[in-house]
Amino acid sequence: MTEPQRPTSNRANWSLSPAPAPFEDEARSSWLARAAHRHHLATFEMAAIYGIDLAAADLGSHETQLAEIARRSRLSDWPAVHPVVDGLALIGRLERRVRHRVEDWWAYCPHCLEADLSGNGLYVRQQWCEPFSVICAHHKVWLRPWPSSAETRTIDGQPSFVFTEGDFAFREAEPAVIQTATLLRQPAIAGWDRWAMLVLDLGDALLCRCGPQGQEPAALFEFTDFGPWSGIGARRPGRNELVSCDVALRLTMMRAIISLVSFDPATATSSPNWLRELVRANSRAGVRRELLPGCGDPLFRLFARMNDDAANALSRRVEQWPAEVRVRAHAALLVGALANHA
């Protein structure tokens, strides 16, 4: 194998073969990162040379460049995209607007990574980069955002990934989370498209500014420990924000979405005082006490917080959701409308 050349200032002279053979379940961005390191380049340097947005590559972009790198490396194949990405494209909900460095895109499983580092070498799995990913399918632990300082140059100038012991701390996922996460990663099962649309719509709703005029922080702030931020948040739900947002936001949103989705109304034991008051105040208008047992439902809280524009936009999407959530959503919309007009 010939020694790879470092790129010179003349782009035409850059020689970037060979690339390593991909692992079976490797993300495209990971394969490109390992190719970069083989050429003593940082990952972003490799991406700049080929004009590749690494996160977009995981979402199906840059097929031509990937084929070219494989061809020059005498490889017959390069990593595929995750089935969830194909599934999102099929239902017309794939968004390839990506604006991040790759380390702001990668999630990882602490167990898998620790095993990699003492085994055949580190690589990022396809399943950590697909938009709905939230737990490791193998270890059933919550994925974590890739540490942004993990890529470094060693003393001899070689780029590599360095992890510390603390990076391998893990949190086990609850059974309800595992059940939902497992369903979401299988586009082939019947009804997946409805669940996918539900997840994307809830993600968009969580990013809405939720005051009456859309002036308050996004709903996500109230559902998670993610602080208020100014980068995202409109008066109306966006479109498929979850697909291309950075890893910390995506994992936070998925945590919130899964808790919204996996809530069982039968377990609701109490309803907030303000909601009981609302139902009482509106009883003459035909709002029935039967709504109350479901008022502990977090969907109620979400819809009640939405501004009018956001609630209307969201209500038009509800018909595409799975039937069991649709019933909850209709009740939530009614209570949300009452709250907004109280």
Q: Cα dihedral angle (320, 287, 222, 177), rounded to 10 degrees?
A: -50
H helices then E strands: how many in the chain?
Answer: 16, 4
Q: Is 136 in the site for Zn ion (CB under 5 A)?
A: yes
Name the residue type at position 166: G
Q: Write down the least CB distance from residue 107 to Zn ion, Å.
A: 11
Q: Is 134 in the site for Zn ion (CB under 5 A)?
A: no
Q: Write down the least CB distance from residue 131 to Zn ion, Å.
A: 18
Binding part of the chain for Zn ion, among 49-57, 66-74, 84-92, 105-113 by CB under 5 A, reads 105-113
Which of 111, 276, 317, 330 touches Zn ion by CB under 5 A? 111
Closest residue by Cα to residue 14 from 44, 63, 48, 43: 48
Name the residue type at position 28: R
Which of 109, 205, 243, 279 touches Zn ion by CB under 5 A? 109
Q: Write down the least CB distance from residue 139 to Zn ion, Å.
A: 4
What angle do helix axes 323-341 and 298-305 make, rounded to 10 degrees?
40
d(CA 14, CA 31): 19
Binding part of the chain for Zn ion, among 44-52, 128-136, 205-213, 250-258 by CB under 5 A, reads 128-136
30, containing H or E segment: helix 28-38
Q: Is 55 in the site for Zn ion (CB under 5 A)?
A: no
What is the C-alpha end-to-end distance of the chain, expressed in Å? 74
Q: Is 112 in the site for Zn ion (CB under 5 A)?
A: yes
Q: Write down the least CB distance from residue 180 to Zn ion, Å.
A: 18
Q: Is 135 in the site for Zn ion (CB under 5 A)?
A: no
Residues lying near Zn ion in the complex (CB under 5 A): 109, 111-112, 136, 138-139
